[in-house]
Chains A and B, each alone.
Chain A
């Protein structure tokens, strides 16, 4: 078959993606270098002010806060997700598909609904408070909803299924004989896990971590709903620049920064994956 025909098939989709993804994204990139008009709007003169403003201490603080929350959520999600994936991979093979299906199922329901479920849980009149009272606790409960902790719980909850999936893939491909060999050579359970299994499953861990981190750092829904607008994250800041402050150039600069963080992390993840497979080849 010639090389020309497939081009006709691909053209409609490529035109669509160019018009409604590539061009709009380039537009945002360009916007970041324009000045904000006096009455909102955009003044078409080149400036680096917006980029400089991103590194202003005021906004740098918000970045650090977002990175902290995203990093914490990603770490917790990876620890829980890896443990769950390990337990699934250790189950009898005929049960693994079912376990995996039910672990990922919540991921396919509406994000807002899943977040709302945590409002119901963490509310002062919510389930957790109810259980505490039922268990005989009668002091003042600490505030749970509209806190940083609530945001982290929400993020971990929403992205956990993906981490389970990402970690399960390398774990299920491990050859059990490798662990046996490690045992035969005198490695205990923990040593085998730390020195054999863990290094071979780094790509899954990296994928899970990067995914949760990237989605969390740009998230504005969870901080808005579970954080109650108590603190800002980059996503909320971008949202505010576009929908309330009407400073599109600065909003554009912020989102370019988000993309830069994302690309940096994806590169790191690719590197981790390649290193892990390289190490395996040397064995």
Chain B
């Protein structure tokens, strides 16, 4: 590839694409510090919108709900997803059906999974709220954790598991003391990925949260704010939400590239 392309043209393409990707985001960041809060008129630097944000009870309540959903669903998904990954990789003889079930939550359109869960919960007369959002988030989160952990296990030397078994360790001890330490970076990376996905997820939460105000998550709050009158607070909120996701994801990527301990 290198040396075959016109460097000037390549530079132009890259600059244009990066401008397209980053200008809208940067505008949002800049506006969050605009005293007047209006898109066109710059009236001076101010952090007052951040102050307003933290005094807004609705937004803070939604942020707390989002954290609860993200933390609980991440913990559940990490345990289930990791066990699933180890199980699938030990059982090399993979069924096509199994693969389909594991990949499905990642490719089913959000809206389809969302209405499926809504129909399911309401036909069973489940009271919907944060708990149904958590249950639903675990579905796609565990699929992502599983795929991150599996990717790491592909390079895992199963001979050490056999060695551990030969030395008399029961399966559970082998898993805890041999397999887990080796794949810990991938497990943490998977958990961070799940946490971010859950933090940002809107459609499934929107359908499975029920009607009450107390189960509104931050993305639901943002959606409502965008739809019914834009207030400058949302620029500050957008800037914070974006920064948090990006930091966690960067951390996850770093961990996952970190290589296996002992290699």
A interface list, Cβ under 8 A from B:
1, 3, 5-10, 12-14, 16-18, 20-25, 27-28, 31, 80, 83-84, 86-93, 99, 101-103, 105-106, 108-121, 123, 125-127, 129-130, 157, 160-161, 164, 171-172, 174, 176, 179-180, 183, 189, 192, 214-215, 218-221, 224-225, 235, 238-239, 242-243, 248, 251-252, 255, 258-259, 262, 266
Residue in contact with A28 in the complex, picked from B119, B136, B162, CB distance below 8 Å: B119
Q: Are B13's CB and A83's CB within 8 A?
A: yes
**B88 on the A face (CB < 8 A):** yes
Residues of A within 8 A of B151 (CB): none
Q: What is the size, in residues, of chain B's interface with A at 8 Å between Cβ atoms?
A: 86
Check if B105 sits within 8 Å of A90, measured CB to CB.
no
Whether A113 and B227, one on each chain, are in contact in the complex, defined by CB atoms closer than 8 angstroms, is no
Asked whether A117 lies within 8 Å of B241 as measured between CB atoms, the reply is no
Among B17-25, B44-52, B182-190, which stretch is in contact with chain A? B17-25
Any chain A CB within 8 A of the CB of B230?
A: yes
Q: Which residue of chain B has its CB nearest to the CB of A259?
A: B112
Query: B163 at the A/B interface (Cβ < 8 Å)?
Result: no
Pairs A–B under 8 Å by Cβ, sample size 10: A10-B87, A23-B120, A83-B17, A103-B21, A106-B22, A111-B200, A114-B25, A127-B40, A160-B20, A266-B107
- Known A-B contacts A13-B84, A17-B139, A221-B202; A90 and B21 likewise in contact (beta carbons under 8 Å): no
> Does B135 sit within 8 A of A, measured CB to CB?
yes
- List the interface of chain B (C-beta within 8 A of A): 1-7, 9-11, 13-14, 17-18, 20-25, 27-28, 31, 38-40, 79-81, 83-84, 86-88, 90-91, 93, 101-102, 104-105, 107-113, 115-120, 123, 135-136, 138-139, 142-143, 146, 161-162, 165, 171, 196, 200, 202-203, 207, 219, 222-223, 226-227, 230, 234-235, 238, 241-242, 245-246, 249, 253
B101–A22 CB distance below 8 A: yes
By a CB distance below 8 angstroms, the chain A residues around B242 are 109-110, 113
CB-CB under 8 A from A87, the residues of chain B are 5, 9-11, 13-14, 17
Contact status B18-A27, CB under 8 Å:
no
Interface of chain A, main secondary structure: helix
**CB distance B87 to A7 under 8 Å?**
yes
Instruction: Please name all residues of chain A whose beta carbon is closer than 8 Å to the beta carbon of B2 when the two chains form the complex.
Output: 90-93, 176
Nearest Cβ on chain A to B137's Cβ, whole angstroms: 10
| Cβ-defined partner of A99 (8 Å) among B14, B87, B171, B223 | B14
Contact A20 B14 (CB under 8 A): no
Q: Taking each of A6, A27, A259, which has the highest tally of chain B beta carbons within 10 Å of its own beta carbon?
A: A6
Report whether B171 and A5 are in contact in the complex, using a CB–CB cutoff of 8 Å.
yes
Contact A120 B227 (CB under 8 A): no
Contact A121 B18, beta carbon cutoff 8 Å:
no
- Choose one: B93, B104, B246; the contact of A108 (CB below 8 Å): B246
Task: Look across to chain A and name the residue whose beta carbon is closest to the beta carbon of B245.
Answer: A109
* Most interface-central of B11, B17, B18, B135 (chain A CB within 10 A): B17
Distance of A12 from chain B, by nearest CB (Å): 5
Knowing A16-B142, A27-B123, A126-B40 touch, does A109 contact B112 (C-beta < 8 A)?
A: no
Q: Which residue on chain A has the smallest CB distance to residue B109? A: A218
- Please indicate the chain A residues that have their CB under 8 angstroms from the CB of B171 in the complex: 5
Interface pair A215/B109, CB less than 8 Å apart: yes
Q: Which 10 A-B pairs have the closest CB atoms?
A: A9-B87, A10-B87, A117-B24, A24-B116, A13-B84, A24-B120, A6-B87, A90-B5, A218-B109, A13-B80
Contact assessment for B108 and A259 in the assembled complex, using a CB-CB cutoff below 8 Å: yes
- Structural contact, A90 and B222, CB atoms closer than 8 A: no
CB neighbours of B110 from chain A (8 A): 218
Residues of the A chain whose Cβ atoms lie less than 8 Å from the Cβ of B253: 101
B106 to chain A: closest CB distance in Å?
11
Residues in B neighbouring A24, C-beta threshold 8 A: 113, 116-117, 119-120
Q: Are B238 and A116 in contact (CB under 8 A)?
A: yes
A266 and B96 CA atoms in complex are apart in Å by: 16
Q: Say yes or no: B4 contacts A176, CB within 8 Å.
A: yes
CA distance A105 to B22 in the complex (A): 10
Q: Which residues of B contact A121 (CB under 8 A)?
A: 23-24, 27
Are A126 and B39 within 8 A (Cβ)? yes
Query: How close is B141's CB to chain A, nearest CB, in angstroms?
Result: 10
Beyond A27-B119, A99-B14, A258-B111, 16 additional pairs, beta carbon < 8 A: A5-B90, A6-B88, A9-B86, A16-B139, A23-B120, A84-B17, A87-B11, A90-B4, A102-B18, A110-B241, A113-B238, A157-B24, A172-B1, A183-B4, A255-B116, A259-B109
